[in-house]
Amino acid sequence: MKMLHLSVILLTLSGVLAHSDWGVNYPNNPICAVRGFSVSIPCSYYYPTSKPNIQVTQKLWCSMNSNTDKCQNPPYVYNSASITTSDFEYAGDDKSDCTLLIHNVQFSYSGEYRFRFITDVSGGMWTGEPGATLQVADLKVSLIRLSGIGTLKQGDSLNLTCDVNCTQSSSQFVWSKNNERLNTSGPVLHFPAVTVRDSGSYTCTWKTNRASGSKAISLLVEGGWGVNYTTPICAVRGFSVSIPCSYSYPQHNYQVTQKLWCSMNSNTDKCQNPPYVYNSASITTSDFEYAGDDKSNCTLLIHNVQFSYSGTYRFRFITNVSGGMWTGEPGQILQVSDLKVSLIRLSGNGTLKQGDSLNLTCDVNCTQSSSQFVWSKNNERLNTSGPVLHFPAVTVRDSGNYTCTWKTNRASGSKMISLLVEGDNPENPDHWSVWMIVVVTGGLIIIILAIAAVIYHRRFLCERRSVHIEQQKEDDSDIYANAQQKEDDSDIYANAQQKEDDSDIYANV
């Protein structure tokens, strides 16, 4: 009995050790990310080292928002067996690192994520539970007035506050003004008494060891000279973009008489002299349109944006007072990119066929923090968002023109791609080829069957005729035999009669 107990204990310990040889490690606390930016989910995994020949063959990540099967079956946000382009990128390896990078994080990405790996050993697979928790929030920069009301004036007191509504224990706040870092830290930037020199664009950058994000706010103090720009702006080639801008000057007895915009690609004189891309004193028609006013708004619209329009732009204004002019420095940065829509095959090759798997991806190579992707098919909006449109198994109904529209609060652009699944278009030459093959093959089968029927019918008639002839011969043979028999009987009868006659003659004698 003691030996039995000992055996049970040893087997139990052996099972525990085998179980402990497999595992996945996640961070203990939830991970915080800022919407529109990237985040890293650290992860490590392990499997029996006592068997050095074990190889990891597949790596998988699941979002438990959509996966209800404990990550044992699709859908996956990452699958090493599929070559896809999406916001989810594997940054680990085949040994122990299973780190996941998520780009352009959205609120819908909040939730639990699990990692699963499969090896080349039978039954050698593992899913890490319960998983890593991701929280997504907006980065908010707010202006809190401590004194003064209405427009900001010199001497007013205020705070700029930076906040991320996430349960993140360790984080760092970095402040910059007009893209130049300030020697301060913490979520609050305090101004005990603002001056005109405090006017400008302030950016708060929030950082952790796993994520980061930034947000800008403009500060315009009345009573001085200044021009305020925003963070770098992204635009799509061939479309329009709005460059927000505000300016200030002493309001008393000052009137703006001229407004100018310069591209620093061509202007080397700090926008104090031509050339200008916009000059209110000249009535010209170009891609550059002034959408501001004579008071404080200096917004510039650029139509039909080209790659050559990338660069720094500066606004300059001149008033009716001698020496009353100002150029805003360092300027506004514009980035121009192409909107690319790509078809990425996940299965199948050659022409698209029913059952093939693919992704349509939409991409703008710009440093734009917040953007929206809208998909439509044949000009009808689809109920989906994000840069990737996934087709797990296409059908003929998926054929059509797909348009990706990229939007921000300052720019937009769209690009179309056509999807044709084989067998859907009757005007497709391949379609007609298939039907020609079907028709010709069907015709040949019918002809062969007809010939076979004729041959069979003729053989049947021949065999029937042969049987009839043989039967006739047999009947003739019977008739001949009967006639022969009758003739023989007649001869016998004649002989008998002859004998009888002879016997009568003999008696008479």
Please name the amino acid found at residue 347.
Answer: S
Q: CA-to-CA distance for 329 and 271, rounded, in angstroms?
A: 10
pLDDT at 209 (0 to 100)? 87
Q: Token pair of 35, please?
A: 């919407």
On whether the CB atoms of residues 315 and 298 are closer than 8 A, the answer is yes
For residue 221, count other CB atoms closer than 10 A to its CB. Answer: 22
DSSP state of 397: G
Q: CA-to-CA distance for 178 and 228, rounded, in angstroms?
A: 9
pLDDT at 1 (0 to 100)? 39
Q: What average pLDDT values come out for the chain (509 residues) when binned by 10 residues? A: 35 42 93 92 91 88 90 92 86 94 92 95 92 93 92 90 80 88 91 86 90 88 81 91 88 86 91 94 90 91 95 95 89 93 90 92 76 90 87 93 90 92 58 57 83 80 66 58 56 53 47
Q: CA-to-CA distance for 4 and 381, rounded, in angstroms?
A: 69
On whether the CB atoms of residues 42 and 27 are closer than 8 A, the answer is yes
Please name the amino acid found at residue 238.
Answer: G
Q: CA-to-CA distance for 212 and 202, rounded, in angstroms?
A: 17
pLDDT at 487 (0 to 100)? 57
Q: Quick one: CA torsion of 334, 340, 346, 352, rounded to 10 degrees?
A: 170
Mention every residue, 6+ apart, whose C-beta is less than 8 A from residue 400. 377, 378, 418, 419
Q: Determine how β-strand 172-177 pairs with β-strand 180-185.
A: antiparallel
pLDDT at 366 (0 to 100)? 78
DSSP string, 227-244: EE--S-EEEETTS-EEE-
pTM for the full predicted model? 0.53
Q: Token pair of 291, please?
A: 């959408």
